[in-house]
Amino acid sequence: MNPQALRIAIAGSGGRMGQVLVETVLGLPDCRLTVALDRPGSPSLGADPGRPFGRETGVAVRADFAEALKDADVLIDFTRPEGTLAHLQVCRELGVAMVVGTTGFDPTGRAALKAAAADIGIVFAANMSVGVNLTFKLLDIAAKVLSQGYDIEIVEAHHRHKVDAPSGTALRMGEVIAEALGRDLASCAVYGREGVTGERDPATIGFATVRGGDVVGDHTVMFLGDGERVEISHKASSRATFARGALRAARWLAGRPAGLYDMQDVLGLR
Ligand SMILES: NC(=O)C1=CN([C@@H]2O[C@H](COP(=O)(O)OP(=O)(O)OC[C@H]3O[C@@H](n4cnc5c(N)ncnc54)[C@H](OP(=O)(O)O)[C@@H]3O)[C@@H](O)[C@H]2O)C=CC1
Ligand SMILES: O=C(O)C1=N[C@H](C(=O)O)C[C@H](O)C1
């Protein structure tokens, strides 16, 4: 065991992302899984989170997060907004850094993350993959070059279990494009269409959502002009890409001052 290893806590350790995060941490020599959290009543409580991967971690899944987080340097949280915000309070009190991948926050939740970042380091990103974060840069360029005469539509597809829509990534793509064009996403977004909608308003950014099967996460932004169409797509085929990004963020946070960061900071793309 490496005594210098970064002590990692994982919230929602039995979830789809939680399990991949556990497996990823167990493969890293400079990180140690010291805390695995799940909700009260979860069947995984008390079990070794390494068991599905044939590993013994010496850790048992717990629900008493206020006590458990005393044993962590960084909490990686891919749960639900209400769970993340409860963990946030405790991390702030204990000085534990956070990597937040949870999506679906309302403005109050986002404000709480920002406020807590006065005291602790937080990396908050709707998508932790390198590919999507590169895509954000490409979208900024495309939106500026195609600012006149192109209609912008964002289409995303995810597995049948996803509970929020549009995806956090699609919304972030919309924000990047709106910022590049000097527009306010809240006032120019159109979330789905039905009935007699009238002709398309060129100032809008449209969103469409597909849910089904086991789709890990597909995003396509279309810039539709007269005589041509530019499409920028990212397709995730494994959740490992998000988990690797989250662990990269956790290590990047170690020793950084308090503040709210995102994956553009972690990847040096700012
Ligand atoms: N930023 C990124 O790169 C990515 C972000 N995500 C986001 O991560 C989140 C989780 O996704 P996914 O793993 O698919 O979801 P899952 O539903 O598979 O897992 C969520 C986990 O969090 C637990 N949980 C749910 N509610 C709470 C709560 N109130 N307090 C504490 N724990 C809770 C669940 O427990 P239980 O089973 O008991 O409900 C479960 O263990 C979503 O918001 C998703 O959009 C996903 C992939 C990549
Ligand atoms: O819920 C998911 O699965 C995913 N959620 C994130 C989002 O909402 O953008 C990221 C990824 O696409 C997978």
pLDDT mean by block of 10 residues, the chain; 270 residues: 92 98 98 98 97 96 98 98 98 98 98 98 98 98 98 98 98 98 98 97 98 98 98 98 98 97 97
Q: Answer yes or no: is 255 a known binding residue.
A: no
Our answer to whether residue 234 is catalytic in this structure is no
Ligand 2 centroid to Cα of residue 149, in Å, is 31
- At position 67, the amino acid (one-letter code) is E
For a ligand 2 pocket test, name from 19, 154, 160, 162 the mutation site with the most ligand atoms within 8 angstroms of its C-beta: 162
Ligand 2 centroid to Cα of residue 26, in Å, is 23
Assigned architecture for domain 130-236: 2-Layer Sandwich (3.30)
pTM, rounded to two decimals: 0.98
Q: Give the pLDDT confidence score for residue 2 in this predicted structure.
A: 85
Our answer to whether residue 162 is catalytic in this structure is yes
Residue ranges of the chain assigned to CATH 3.30.360.10: 130-236
What is the H or E stretch that residue 45 is in? none
Instruction: Please answer whether residues 34 and 58 qualify as being in contact, where contact means their C-beta atoms are separated by less than 8 angstroms.
Output: no
Q: Give the pLDDT confidence score for residue 103 in this predicted structure.
A: 98
Q: How many CA atoms lie within 13 A of 193 on its CB side?
A: 15
Ligand 1 centroid to Cα of residue 102, in Å, is 7
Residue ranges of the chain assigned to CATH 3.40.50.720: 6-124+239-266
Reference 72, options 240, 249, 250; nearest CA is 250
CA distance 135 to 157: 16
Verify whether ligand 1 is closer than 6 Å to residue 201 (CB atom). Answer: no
Catalytic residue chosen out of the listed positions 114, 137, 144, 158: 158
Atom from ligand 2 closest to the CA of residue 156 = 12
Q: Give the pLDDT confidence score for residue 197 in this predicted structure.
A: 98
CA distance 17 to 175: 25
Instruction: Please answer whether residues 169 and 217 qualify as being in contact, where contact means their C-beta atoms are separated by less than 8 angstroms.
Output: yes
Phi, psi of 93 (to 5 degrees): -65, -40
Instruction: Please answer whether residues 97 and 89 qualify as being in contact, where contact means their C-beta atoms are separated by less than 8 angstroms.
Output: no
Verify whether ligand 1 is closer than 6 Å to residue 14 (CB atom). Answer: yes
* Assigned CATH for 6-124+239-266: 3.40.50.720
Q: Provide the percentage of residues in the chain whose pLDDT is more than 70.
A: 100
